[in-house]
Copies of this chain bind each other. A is one copy, B any other.
Amino acid sequence: MKKKIKMGMIGGGSGSFIGAIHRIAAFLDGEIKLVSGCFSSNFSNSIATGKSLFMHEGRIYENYREMIEEEAKMPDGERIDFISIVTPNHLHFEPAMLALEKGFHVILDKPMTFSLEEALLLEKKAKESGLLFAVTHTYTGYPMVKEAKERIRKGELGHLRRIYVEYPQGWLAQDIADNNKQAAWRVDPKRSGKAGCMGDIGTHCFNLVEYITGLKATEVCAELNTFVPGRLLDDDGVVLIRYDGGVKCVLMASQIAIGEENNLKIRIYGDKGSLEWNQHDPNTMLLKWPDKPTQMLRVGQHYLSALARFNTRTPAGHPEGYIEAFANIYRNFALALHSIKRGKKPRAEYLDFPTVEDGVRGMKFIETVVASSQSEEKWTKFID
């Protein structure tokens, strides 16, 4: 009998938003089974979480170290295949490094680590180990984002010129750290790292641009702001980014934009055509032309690329959303693992998920924009 991929999870106890999302994403396609976990630094919370997930108590561990070491000793067929790490940023590096050392594939929440140094160490280790390493820059999981990538790769927009990417949110417009677990660590430099808003959502924007266009940033001009009194990290910012080949980008991210949810939107203009995609209507992409009407492309339609269709579950007209985009990362990761376990090279579309390299790019983005924001020079070289 073919076996499901076996997953362990670190973090994601009760009260964790993103842990629950990771699990749904893992379960949705029926390829993955959660069998092991250390969900919380509070062991009884961890056990309660595991039980509510129909897990054996024996596979719920008191700390991540014990978990990784114990699982590593288990026999083939029982041992977990990969570990999903969904803790706050400052708790990413150590379990991820240990997981790699013990031979586990890894899925890690973003931004990848607390510091760039940690990220570089993980990248080195991941590459040496040959293990799969995904970083959940979720938005690249949307079929239309993949379509955008394909259209640009084929040259439909011509030579790119101008990019607008924006991600306004409003949930941190007031000081809610005392009452909101999600907010608390994100605004705390000891847990979040050097950047707040830019780390949490600016990195998503940055990843989205590099994923879709294949361009690499060369220099930036950043202005980071902290609007909520007493807050220690940025809660808003704008970054002008210059890419190879003269492409110019404005990246706008804000967490004080009252009334905005996750209005991630990207517009890319080339010298032959343009595209526009918005996470609030994720199943539509606009293609714009100089000499003919704007086209509304829709997920599920046969005219989309093979890559977009591979990442869609339903025919057109059945809106897919954030959870399916997230699940595409898990599903593709699982499909790649199945291939590896059978000794095969995974197909290219299975490997189409954000990797440790994307994670490192994100950390470099954070370092660079924080440096630029503190600089009086207009342009700061992208740290590379």
Contacts and interface: CB of A to CB of B under 8 A. Distances in A.
A17 B379 CA distance: 40
A8 to B, nearest CB: 15
Secondary structure at chain A's binding surface: helix, strand, loop or mixed? loop
Most chain B CB within a 10 A radius of its CB, from A17, A297, A315, A323: A323
Nearest to A55: B1
A318 B321 CA distance: 7
Contacts of A298: 261, 293-294
A47 to B, nearest CB: 12
Interface residues of A, number: 97
Contact of A322 (B28, B55, B314): B314
A339 interface: no
Contacts of A301: 293
Interface in A44-58: 51-57
A154 interface: no
B258 A272 contact: yes
Interface stretch (A104-112, A113-121, A281-289): A281-289
Contacts of A1: 51, 54-57
Nearest to A288: B259
14 contacts: A23-B30, A24-B313, A27-B30, A30-B54, A168-B269, A227-B271, A236-B248, A240-B240, A257-B267, A260-B288, A293-B298, A313-B323, A318-B323, A323-B324
Contact of A259 (B23, B166, B246, B294): B294
A143 to B, nearest CB: 12
A316 interface: yes
Interface in A263-291: 263, 267, 269-274, 279-283, 286-291
Interface of A: 1-4, 17, 20-21, 23-24, 27-30, 34, 51-57, 161-162, 164, 166, 168-171, 173-174, 221, 223, 225, 227, 236, 238, 240, 246, 248, 250, 252, 254, 256-263, 267, 269-274, 279-283, 286-298, 300-303, 313-324, 375-379
Contact of A296 (B20, B293, B316): B293
Contacts of A256: 161-162, 269, 271
Nearest to A142: B319
Top-10 shortest CB links A-B: A259-B288, A261-B317, A262-B317, A319-B321, A318-B322, A293-B295, A321-B321, A294-B296, A378-B378, A258-B274
Nearest to A290: B258
A2 B51 contact: yes
Nearest to A321: B319
A34 B315 CA distance: 23
Contacts of A169: 317
Nearest to A316: B261
A365 to B, nearest CB: 18
A145 to B, nearest CB: 13
Contacts of A30: 23-24, 27, 34, 53-54
Most chain B CB within a 10 A radius of its CB, from A240, A250, A261, A295: A261
A171 B270 CA distance: 13
Contacts of A297: 293
A301 B166 CA distance: 22
Contact of A27 (B27, B171, B173, B273): B27
A322 B312 CA distance: 12
A286 B375 CA distance: 36
Nearest to A53: B30
Given A227-B162, A257-B162, A28 B24 contact: yes
